[in-house]
Amino acid sequence: MRGALAAVVLLVACSPSAVAPPAVTPVETSSTTTTTTLALAGVDAAAGVGDRMFPALGNEGYDVVSYDITLVFDATLTSVEGVVTIEAVAALPLRSFTVDLVGYIVESVEVDGTNAEHARGPRDMRITPAVAIPPGETFTVDIHYHGRPTPVTLTEFPFPTGWQIGQVGSAFLFSQPDGASGIFPLNDHPRDRADVTLTVSVPAPLVVVSGGEPAPVVDRDGLRIHSFEIPNVAPYLIPLAIGDFAPVEVGGVTTWMGNGAPLPDGFERQGEILRRLEADLGPYPFAASGAVVVDSDFPAALETQTLATYTTTSAAWGTPVVAHELAHQWFGNEIALGQWDDIWLNEGFATFMTWRWIEHDRGRGAYEAEVARAWEAMAASDLGPPDDPPGQNLFDPSVYQRGGLALAALREFVGDRQFFEFLRSYVAEFSGSTVTTETFLTFVLIVLGPDAEDLVIDWVREPDMPSYPLG
């Protein structure tokens, strides 16, 4: 994500696992008390997947395979009816489990076609099926709900997440990190990616824009029905924008512009930027690539999967923001986070690749100037290392700038040929999977050796700012 939320310019992951063994519920038999029928009795899977920064997000008891999401909006986009089918695999013997859901009135919940009890909390909803679900078993959850789409405000964030309202009759999503819970019920953590079928009905002439593979639009009873298939996506990266959008295609990349606005300066170069990134990182990881620009003064952009979301404010930042969000399609989208406090693996990499684009576009001197500005800003600050952002601040400048500097220093240390071979190897090795800082450091150690690992540790974990990274 890129946003103007700090003094420094901001060119603004595995399945859930049990955090601790579940409590065993003894079951009386005719002869003794035993625990052998645990799978039948089940456990109440605790909320949270063990994330260090956002401990309340997600649930450890299951792994989502797919979401089928149907949303029907009114003409003013102030009311929505939703139906969601979750297909999941139990990781524990489930007597009950939670889904993340903020707001809305829940009308009904079924597990495997049978009514299930449900109880709401401010962050999530606990579901108790009629029969406990054995571990390893696939099950489905159907949830019907309705209400007013509103942003989520339950974290220490500088702005609400989830639903955002554009300036001229439009709505769009900025769901990082927990805003998806204000859109539909889910297991809301990036380590639990899933296939998504998204069907959104709006009154004509409104247009719905999303990512992945779109189906033909159907007009029925005054509604315009849009459907999309988005494979293997983290919930916060699902793109969705509703409004007066029209497509503009340049260089094989489609940008959806709101309210008849012209293509922003630099956006005609998206195809060129994509090819430059592929030269450094390997093939683009998805079947589609595009952008949507929403009429809003919200000062940020988000790397929603296959269709980056910009506002009119952030789109005015030109090719650097485009390079940043496109780099995220590799770092953050194709390679996902295992823990939110490892966010530098997304933002530091995207920041470095933005500098790399600037090098390609304006020359080596421009790249060195970006590195120097970042180092001077970090050296003059009292910010900590990027692998330990304070509180719940994903947008701490160190995450971006010092994270990017770690890669610039590694490039200087091993040389261009070995560094970019390493980057391509890293992408190929972890494509489609989840990483943590430990994962990355181990890969550095194996591929580049202990001195390179020590260098990266100095940049991302040590409190003292390392010396200037360029020779």
At 17, the pLDDT band (50, 70, 90 cuts) reads very low
Compute the average pLDDT of residues 145-154.
94
Residues 6 or more apart whose CB falls under 8 angstroms from that of 239 comprise 173, 209, 210, 211, 230, 292, 304, 305, 306, 307, 308, 309
Cα–Cα distance, 270 to 260 (Å, whole number): 20
The confidence score (pLDDT) of residue 158 equals 80
Instruction: Write the CATH number of the domain with boundaries 336-460.
Output: 1.10.390.10
pLDDT, tens only, 405-464: 999 999 999 999 999 999 999 999 999 999 999 999 999 999 999 999 999 999 999 999
Percentage of the chain modeled with pLDDT above 90: 86
Cis peptide before 205 (omega within 30 of 0): yes
What is d(CA 175, CA 163) in angstroms, rounded to the nearest whole number? 8
Cα 218 to Cα 12, 200, 202, 222, 258, distances in angstroms? 36, 11, 11, 10, 21
Token code pair at residue 20: 């601790």
CB of 154 within 8 A of CB of 125? no
- pLDDT for res 455: 98
Query: Cα 340 to the chain's mean position, in Å?
Result: 10
142-158 average pLDDT score: 92
Q: Give the pLDDT mean for 146-158.
A: 90
Q: What is the pLDDT of residue 40?
A: 56
160 upstream amide cis, omega within 30 of 0: no
Q: Is the pLDDT of residue 31 over 70?
A: no
pLDDT score for 309: 98
Predicted confidence at residue 2, as pLDDT, reads 47
Q: Across the chain, which distance is largest between two alpha carbons, in Å?
A: 81
DSSP string, 57-121: SSBTTEEEEEEEEEEEE-TTSS-EEEEEEEEEEESS-EEEEEEE--SSEEEEEEETTEE-EEEE-
Which pLDDT score, from 0 to 100, does residue 87 have? 98
**Amino acid at site 120:** R
Range from 5-19, 211-225, 379-393 carrying the lowest mean pLDDT: 5-19
**DSSP state letters, 310-370:** EEHHHHTT-HHHHHHHHHHTTBTTTBEESSGGGTHHHHHHHHHHHHHHHHHHH-HHHHHHH
pLDDT digits (tens, 9 = 90+) for 224-270: 999 999 999 999 999 999 999 999 999 899 999 998 899 999 999 99
Q: pLDDT band for position 15 (50/70/90)?
A: very low
**pLDDT tens column, 176-214:** 999 999 999 999 999 999 999 999 999 999 999 999 999
**pLDDT value at residue 166:** 83
For the chain, percent of residues with pLDDT exceeding 70:
92
Taking CA atoms, 380 is separated from 238, 344, 464, in Å, by 37, 20, 12
CB 230 within 8 A of CB 270: no
Cβ atoms of 102 and 221 within 8 Å: the answer is no
Listed residue (30, 2, 52, 99) closest to 326, CA to CA:
2
Give the separation between CA 407 and CA 356, rounded to whole angstroms: 11
Check residue 182 and report its DSSP letter. Answer: G
Domain boundaries, the chain: 13-245, 336-460
| Contact by Cβ (8 Å): 461, 388 | yes
**What is the DSSP track for 201-259?**
EEETT-EEEESSEEPPPEEETTEEEEEEEEEEE-GGG--EEEESEEEEEETTEEEEEET
> What's the confidence (pLDDT) of residue 424?
98
- HSE-CB at 273 with a 13 A cutoff on CA atoms is 28
Domain 13-245 grouped into CATH 3.40.630.30: no
